[in-house]
Structure 1
Amino acid sequence: MNDPTVEWAARVAEAELRRPLPRRWAHTRGVAGRAAEVESVVGPDAALLIAAAMLHDVGYAPRLATTGFHPLDGARFLRDEHGADERLVRLVANHSFAFLEAEERGLREELSSEFPLLEEPQLVDALVYCDMTTTPDGGRTNAEERVAEILGRYGDDSLVGRFIHRAAPEIFGAVGRVEAALAAQPR
């Protein structure tokens, strides 16, 4: 997609992630590729979805990790350093049911007051789908395997493990809705 917002998002994500976090950069590129594949689900918001996919994990960049909660750190960076579009920033802040992890971290009030949930279910679901059907190395997977991989990496009793257990039903629901929308499209 030739869109200035997508091109800007790709430059920002690459600058922040490629060298310090090459695996996270591979995941990011994979998520953005998935977004390009499912852009028809969100119609005129395709560029926004792809840009959010490119930037969803930017908060992992070491220089940006102030709270240690990447959705919040990334959204603050995009808002404060780049003056990014509010919808884009809110998608990054709340991607993949981040509010549930924010609760585990004691940051729910901060997240929701600064970056309220975006009330655009198709867009929110599409970003979840892209993130949760992409491996850490940028390959394809399904949501069940992705959730299992996250649990395996962090452990059931970790903060992330507790979050992913709580979020799994929501993740599977979002992925299922996107898959149904894709299946309903004419071929």
Structure 2
Amino acid sequence: MDAAIAELLAPLTESRRAHTIEVGRKVERVAHLLPEHLRGEVITAAYLHDVGYGYPVTGFHPLDGANLLAAHGYSVCVCHLVAFHSGSCVEAEVRGFQANVFDQFALDSSPEMAIANDLVWWADMTTGPTGATVTFDVRLADIRSRYPEGSIVRTAIDRSEPQLRAAVQRVSGSM
């Protein structure tokens, strides 16, 4: 993790920062699953996937993070991975955002980007809130315990569970 990333993560709480750093470390360990030209971008995105929590504008961290990173000159690939991480489209819908809110970060779907997205989702969904490695089911149970039924986050995680589980299974099966 370089100094620029550390500086961007500074406003996060200690536990959120620990989670985010471990997600980056996990992706570093499996980056060999990616084409070489994408490895650095995906690792950077993994380290920065939750940066939006430290710079709230809309209150929706994937979008706030992607906008922040775009303003700092990060690549469209990094911004895409941050904007679309871990079922964020489902949560955006639950929050009432229009689908076009992500348009500036959209990339053409390709098998390479599908793997890149899966790696970030897998790392995020197997890392607990303080950076410990957990199973997918433990991670979901933790999220559900912190957000009451009917809340935005709980509704979004419940709706996106099949997509999240599939991404985790695809990566786990590749290792």
Matched, 1:78 2:69: yes
Percent identity, aligned pairs only?
Answer: 36
Deviant stretches of 4+, over 4 Å = none
Structure 1 match to 2:124:
131
Structure 1 match to 2:137:
144
Out of 164, 171, 174, the position equivalent to 2:157 is 164
TM-score normalised over the length of structure 1: 0.86
Out of 86, 89, 99, the position equivalent to 1:109 is 99
Q: Deviations over 1:11-32 (max 9, x none)?
A: 3442233355111100011101
User: Which consecutive unaligned segments of at least 5 residues does structure 2 have?
Assistant: none
Structure 2 match to 1:121:
114
Structure 2 match to 1:22:
14
Q: CA RMSD in A?
A: 1.5
Count of residue pairs the alignment pairs up: 171
What is the distance in 2 between the residues matched to 1:20 and 1:58?
Answer: 7
Q: Deviations over 1:102-138 (max 9, x none)?
A: 0011124243322225622111101100100101111
User: Which consecutive unaligned segments of at least 5 residues does structure 1 have?
Assistant: 1-5, 183-187
TM-score normalised over the length of structure 2: 0.91
Contact 1:118 1:124 in 2 (8 A): no
